[in-house]
Amino acid sequence: LIVATIGGFGVGLCLYFFGQPGEMAKVIDKIHDPGRLDPSQTPGMIATSLVSITAGGSLGPEAPLVQINGSLGSWIADKLNLSLKETRIMTFCGMGAALAAFFGDPVGGPLFALEIPHRRGIQYYEAIIPAVVAGIFSFGVFRFGTGLEIGGIYHFDYFDTIPALSWLNLLEAVVLGIFGGLAGILFIGIFRLTKLAIQPIEDRHIWRAILGGLGIGWLAVLYPQTLFFSEQQIETQLIEPATTLTVVTLLGICLAKMMAISFTIHGGFRGGFIFPLFFTGASLGLAISFLIPAVHPTIAMLCCMAAINVSVTKTPISSSIILSVLSDTSIIPIIAIASFTSFILTSNIGLLSTQRPRKQEENLSIGVG
């Protein structure tokens, strides 16, 4: 509680001295117009996100990495005097390279960067190949430089081996996609209520961040599993100790994590919410598998992880690929069904207000051949 509150004070100081670096919604807005990310935002984003992560906030480094690498791509484009269209492609290359290294997925990472600006699929399609190529090189350099093995980071072999997939698993994926989508709607509701509650002190950055840290700390007293951005906690706090957890505990963790993400973001902390959303979905999926033993825990967790993330980010393609890689499983058809079920269910409900179609004149200006 004390560490999180002090961390909130540190975040507030960063916001006071560096200003408010762009979070994900602002990054999306800048991608559309002017088609580039401002490098001057990078120092503030680095400082604020480092304090945010250290203080136990429920946001990860993906948003800072996107800002840093994306703005680097924009800077290179400026130095080369590239056109608006080419500058945006270079920015996507930087963003895709960052996410490829972070997720350990040279295809899913860049596709995520290309999907998230819109609510209806990839529309800056001219950037797909350049971004994936950048992702491949980034992935290779990162793995070579760190010595990390290529493969998934989650080991679901703590559970029984997944049996051969059948038509019943396809139906399970639909139902799990619905549950994950509904959980995403609940999260969006909590997020909006938190925003309303914080509005009176929205411009008082230090007090807002202190209150955010206080909220994170109180939740951690009740549910320590909600601390940090949860990349490793999915394995250490859910998969490994699964036999010691109950349905009530898991649902409590799920709800508390939703609140922790909301407190973190509206407290002014900076970072990305992808892994925190995955953690929320994993706790929900594990609870469902305990309630309905016929549903395999691995399938339930991965489907709910995908579904809740898609309900918020509108990225069904990349989320399916990324989770298949992270889990080192071969059930991508099941994950994809859950993803698209959630996508359809929540297509008219969004969290990122800056997600929008690309400008019509840009579509018309791109010829064939």
Q: Are residues 127 and 206 in the same domain?
A: no
Number of H helices, E strands in the chain: 16, 0
Place of tokens 């918020």: 312
Domain final residue pick, 146, 169, 193: 146
Q: Are residues 189 and 121 in the same domain?
A: no
pLDDT for position 344: 95
pLDDT for position 320: 95
| 136 part of a folded domain | yes
Structurally, the chain folds into a number of domains equal to 2
At how many degrees (to 10) do helices 297-313 and 274-291 cross? 140
| 177 part of a folded domain | yes
Q: Which domain holds residue 29?
A: 2-146
* Cα gap 320→199, rounded to integer Å: 35
Structure tokens that stand for 98 in this block:
């960052």
Residues contacting 277, CB < 8 A, separation 6+:
187, 261, 305, 308, 309, 312, 313
Q: Are residues 219 and 101 in the same domain?
A: no
* Cα gap 202→188, rounded to integer Å: 19
Domain final residue pick, 118, 146, 174: 146
Residue type at 117?
P
Q: Mind listing the pLDDT tens digit of every residue in the chain (369 residues)?
A: 677 787 778 877 777 766 676 678 888 888 898 888 888 877 878 888 888 878 777 788 888 888 889 999 999 999 998 888 999 999 999 999 999 998 989 999 999 999 999 988 899 999 999 999 999 999 999 888 877 777 777 777 777 777 777 888 899 999 999 999 999 999 999 999 998 988 888 778 788 888 888 888 888 888 888 887 777 888 888 888 888 889 999 999 999 999 999 988 888 788 888 899 999 999 999 999 999 998 999 999 999 999 999 999 999 999 999 999 988 777 899 999 999 999 999 998 888 888 898 876 555 444 443
Structure tokens that stand for 203 in this block:
């411009």
DSSP string, 143-154: HHHH-PPSS-S-
We report the CATH number of the domain holding residue 227 as: 1.10.3080.10
Q: Are residues 296 and 334 in the same domain?
A: yes
Structure tokens that stand for 164 in this block:
């051969």
pLDDT for position 1: 61
Residues contacting 162, CB < 8 A, separation 6+:
156, 296, 298, 299, 329, 331
Q: Are residues 233 and 289 in the same domain?
A: yes
Instruction: Kindly compute the dihedral angle of the four CA atoms of residues 289, 249, 186, 26, in this order, to the nearest 10 degrees.
Output: -100
Q: Are residues 91 and 193 in the same domain?
A: no
Q: Are residues 116 and 244 in the same domain?
A: no
Q: Are residues 80 and 34 in the same domain?
A: yes
Place of tokens 């290529």: 150
| Radius of gyration in angstroms for the set of CA atoms belonging to the chain, rounded to a whole number | 20
| 356 part of a folded domain | no
CB 11 within 8 A of CB 44: no
Q: Are residues 181 and 209 in the same domain?
A: yes
Q: Are residues 46 and 73 in the same domain?
A: yes
